[in-house]
Structure 1
Amino acid sequence: MIQETMKVAQNRQKSYADNRRKSLEFAVGDWVYFKVSPMKGVVHFGKKEKLSPRYVGRYEIIERVGPVAYRLDLPMEMPGIHNVFHVSTMKMCFGERRLVVLEPDEIQLQPNLSYTEWPVQIVDRKEQELRN
C-alpha cells in the first residue's frame, strides 16, 4: 500500500520534471556557443560579474565524444580551456547571428585563466569629510 503510493508520487514528479526537460543533440559540423561559468573561476572575457557574457564564441563541433559530450574546435589563444563540453553548457548557433563575440587577442590570459585589469582613465574623484 505504502509502496504503491510512493510509486504513484514518484511517477507524478517524474512527469512534471520531464515536461520542463528538453533533450539537446548536435551533429558534427554544427556551430555552437558554450557557457562560461564565473562561479567556477573561468575568465569573464572583458566584463565584470553581471555584465559578463553568458555564452561565448561561435565554435564548430568536431567530434561527438559520448552521448552528452562534444569536442569543440577552440582557437589556440585559449590553451587552458578543455575542448570537451557537456551538452547542457552549449547553445545552438543559427545562421550568422552572434550572441557574444569573444576576441581572445584583447585579453592576455595567464596560465591559471586569470588576467590583469587596468583602468583606462580616471573620470572623477570625490573626497568625503567625516563629522569628527
Structure 2
Amino acid sequence: MIQYRLRTAQSRHQSYVDHRHRPLRFVVGDRVFLQVSHMKGVMRFGRRGKLSPRYTRLFEILRAVRKVAYELALPRALSAIHPVFHVSILRRYVLDESHVLQYDSVELDDRMTFIEELVAILAR
C-alpha cells in the first residue's frame, strides 16, 4: 500500500517536470555559448556579481560524446580546460544579422604601428 502511494506521488511529480522539459540536441558544426561558472567574489570580464556576463563567446561543436555531452573547439588560451561539456551549460546560438560587427580598416606604417587621431569631443 505504501509503495503504491509512493509510486503515485512519483508519477505525479514526474508529470509536472515533463510538462516543461525539452531535450536539447546539437549536431556537429552548431555554434553554442558556454556558461560561465557562478563563483561568488570572482571578477569575470571586469564585472563582479550579477552584472557579469552569464555566457562566454561562441564555440563550435566538434562531436557528440554522449546524448548530453559535447566536445567543443576551444582556443589555445583555454587548452588547460577539458573540452567536453554537459548540455545544461550550453546555449544554442541563433544567427542574427545584427550580431555582425563592421570594423574600420586600420592603416599601419612601416613599423607596424598606427597613430590614433581624435574624431570628436563628446563631453567636457
Give TM-score, length-normalised by structure 2. 0.69
- Report the Cα offset of residue 46 of structure 1: 2.6
Give the Cα–Cα distance (whole angstroms) in 1 for the partners of residues 83 and 41 of structure 2.
Answer: 17
The 8 Å contact of residues 31 and 59 in structure 2, kept in 1 or not, is answered as: yes
Aligned residue pairs, count = 99
Superimposed CA distance per residue, residues 101-128 of structure 1 (whole angstroms, 9 cap, x where no aligned partner):
xxxxxxxxxxxxxxxxxxxxxxxxxxxx
Q: Find out whether 1:82 has 2:45 as its counterpart.
A: no
In structure 1, the partner of 2:36 is 36
Counterparts of residues 1-132 of structure 1 (less than 5 Å):
1-39=1-39, 44-96=44-96
Give the Cα–Cα distance (whole angstroms) in 1 for the partners of residues 98 and 86 of structure 2.
Answer: 21
- Report the Cα offset of residue 15 of structure 1: 0.5
**1:80 counterpart letter in structure 2:** A
**Change over 3 Å in CA distance of 1:13–1:88 after alignment to 2:** same
Give TM-score, length-normalised by structure 1. 0.65
Aligned to 2:70, the other structure's residue is in SS state strand
**2:17 counterpart letter in structure 1:** A
- Report the Cα offset of residue 14 of structure 1: 0.7
Give the Cα–Cα distance (whole angstroms) in 2 for the partners of residues 82 and 40 of structure 1.
Answer: 22
Superimposed CA distance per residue, residues 28-73 of structure 1 (whole angstroms, 9 cap, x where no aligned partner):
0000001011328987133212111101111100111112110111
- Report the Cα offset of residue 11 of structure 1: 0.4
Give the Cα–Cα distance (whole angstroms) in 1 for the partners of residues 98 and 42 of structure 2.
Answer: 21
The 8 Å contact of residues 41 and 49 in structure 2, kept in 1 or not, is answered as: no
**Change over 3 Å in CA distance of 1:25–1:95 after alignment to 2:** same
- Report the Cα offset of residue 81 of structure 1: 2.5
Which aligned segments of 4 or more residues in structure 1 are displaced greater than 6 angstroms? 40-43
The 8 Å contact of residues 36 and 42 in structure 1, kept in 2 or not, is answered as: no
- Report the Cα offset of residue 90 of structure 1: 0.3
> Greater CA radius of gyration, 1 or 2?
2
The structure, 1 or 2, with the larger RCO (C-alpha pairs under 8 Å, 6+ apart) is 1
Identity over the aligned pairs, expressed in percent?
Answer: 46
The 8 Å contact of residues 34 and 55 in structure 1, kept in 2 or not, is answered as: yes
**1:86 counterpart letter in structure 2:** H
Structure 2: gaps of 5 or more residues: 100-124
**Change over 3 Å in CA distance of 1:97–1:26 after alignment to 2:** farther
